[in-house]
Structure 1
Amino acid sequence: MTLTLHLHPLASFCHKVLIALYENDIAFEASLVDFSNPGSAAAHIERWPVGKIPVLHDSRDNRIVAETSIIIEYLQQHYPGSLPLIPNDSTLQLDTRLWDRFFDLYVSVPMQKIVGDRIRPEGTADPHGVAEAHATLDVAYDMVEGQLHNRPWITGKTFSMADCSALPALFFATIVHPPGDDRPQLGAYLERLLARPSVQRVLREAQPYFKFFPYRDAMPTRYLDPSA
C-alpha cells in the first residue's frame, strides 16, 4: 500500500483526515499509534518527533506528511479524487482555509482543553482555563450559526476541507458544551454532517473506542449505540 496513515481511531484530528480520504475513496493503510505502548509511542516519535497524530507516509517518495490541513492538500495534489476539497476559485480557497483553521483553533482546541482537564492529576485542574474554553466555544458557535445562513455547508454549496474539520470539532465539542436550541443552524449543520457516508464510516470505526472518552457519560445514546 502506497499510503499509510498513522492514527488513533478516537482522535478528532485523525477523523478530519479520514473523512477526506473516504470522501474520495483514496486507498490507504491505517496504522494504529498507541501512546500507552512504549514501543508504539517511540516508533511514532522517531517518525514525527513532536509526536502528534495523524501523520501520513507516502512510500512512493518515502515522504512524511504531517498536520491535517497539509495532509488533505497533499492528497488533493498527488491523489486527487472526484470531489475537490479545496476549490479552484481563489476566494473560495481562502474561505475554505479560514474556516478549516477556525474549527481547528476555536472549536477543537478549546474542546480538548475541557476534555483534558477532566483527566489531569488530582490537584492540577485548571478551572480558569476551562471557563475560558467554554467562553470561546460560545463565541465560536455564534459565529458558525451566522456563517451558515443560507449555506448547506460552511463555505457555501459544496462540501470542502472546512467541513472535514467541522465534523470532529463539533461532534466532540457539542458533547462537552451543548450549543442549545437557540442555534438551530448549527444543529441542522451537524445533522447534515452526520448523515454523510464518509462521516458515518469514521464514527462507526471510532465507536468501540468511545468508552475511553473522558466525557463518555455525556455522549448521546445514539453515538454509543447506533441502533438505538
Structure 2
Amino acid sequence: MTLALYGHEFSSYTWKALIPLWADGTAFEFRSVEQHGPAFAALAPFGQFPLLVDDGRVVAESSIIIEYLQRHHPGPNCWIPDGEEGLRVRFLDRVFDGRIMDTAQVAVANALRPAEHKDPYGVEQGMERLRRHYDWLEGELGDDGWAVGDRFTMADCAAAPALFYADWIERIGPDRPKLAAYRARLLAHPAVVKAVEQARPFRHYFPPGAPDRD
C-alpha cells in the first residue's frame, strides 16, 4: 500500500482528509497518531495532522492533501472543479476552515486554559463572529444540494467537520434553517457517517464537554 494518512480519529482536519479518501474508495492505511506518534513526529513539518505520505512523499495541510489526491490518485469524485465553480469551492473551503472551524476553536482553546487564564470576553467575541458567519452562510446556501450546487466537493469535506463541531459550541438553531438542513445532509453522507462513528469513542476528548447528540 503506497498511501498512508496520519491523523487522529477525533480531529476535524483529519476528517476533512478522510472523507474524500473514503468517498473515492481509495486504498490507503490510516495511522492514528495515538499509535504512530514518533513516526508522525519525524515526518510532520509543523507537528500538525493530517499528513499524507505517498511512497515517501509527504503532503501536509488538508486542502492540499485533497488537491494532491485529485491530481495523483483520482477517483470518481471531482473535489475541485475547473473554472468559476472551482474558485467558489476553494473560497468556501477557506470559509469553513477559517471562519467556522477556527472561530469555534476559540471556545475549545479557552476550555483548556487554567482557571486564572480563562478569557470569557474573548470567547464571547469569538461566538459573536461565529454567529455572523452562520448568518452569512444562511444567505448563501441553497435549499438543497451541497455547498456549490449538486456536486459534493472539497468545500463539503471542509464543511462537515467544521459544522459538526461548531454546532457543539454554538448551536446553529432554528433561525438558520438552510444551514441546519445542510449540516444534517452532511452528517447523512456515508463518508461523514464513517468519520463520526470512528470518532465516537474519543468524544471525552472534547474540552468543553461533548453534547449527548449527533
TM-score (norm 2): 0.95
1:155 counterpart = 2:148: yes
Residue from 78, 102, 115 that aligns with 2:72: 78
Q: Which amino acid aligns with 1:185?
A: K
Q: Distance in 2 between matches of 1:43 and 1:120?
A: 29
Maintained 8 Å contact 2:187/2:193:
yes
Corresponding residue number in structure 2 for 1:12: 12
Give the Å deviation of 1:136: 1.4
Corresponding residue number in structure 1 for 2:133: 140
Comparing both chains, which one has the higher relative contact order based on Cα–Cα distances under 8 Å and sequence gaps of 6 or more? 2
Counterpart secondary structure, 2:116: coil
Q: Which stretch has the larger CA shift, 66-75 or 112-121?
A: 112-121
User: Percent identity between the aligned chains?
Assistant: 41
Q: Distance in 1 between matches of 2:59 and 2:199?
A: 23
Q: Distance in 2 between matches of 1:176 and 1:124?
A: 20
Maintained 8 Å contact 2:33/2:40:
yes
Q: Distance in 1 between matches of 2:175 and 2:212?
A: 19
Corresponding residue number in structure 2 for 1:106: 99
Aligned-residue CA RMSD (Å): 1.5
Q: Distance in 1 between matches of 2:21 and 2:106?
A: 27
Corresponding residue number in structure 2 for 1:44: 40
Q: Distance in 1 between matches of 2:64 and 2:169?
A: 28
Q: Distance in 1 between matches of 2:104 and 2:170?
A: 8
Give the Å deviation of 1:45: 3.1
Maintained 8 Å contact 2:143/2:178:
no
Count, aligned residues: 214
Deviations along 1:46-78, one digit per CA (max 9) or x if unpaired, are 21131111000001xx20000000000000000
User: Gaps (5+ residues) in structure 1?
Assistant: 224-228
Q: Distance in 2 between matches of 1:8 and 1:149?
A: 32
Deviations along 1:23-56, one digit per CA (max 9) or x if unpaired, are 101111011113xx9x82x543321131111000
User: Gaps (5+ residues) in structure 2?
Assistant: none
Deviations along 1:135-167, one digit per CA (max 9) or x if unpaired, are 111111011111113452111121110000001
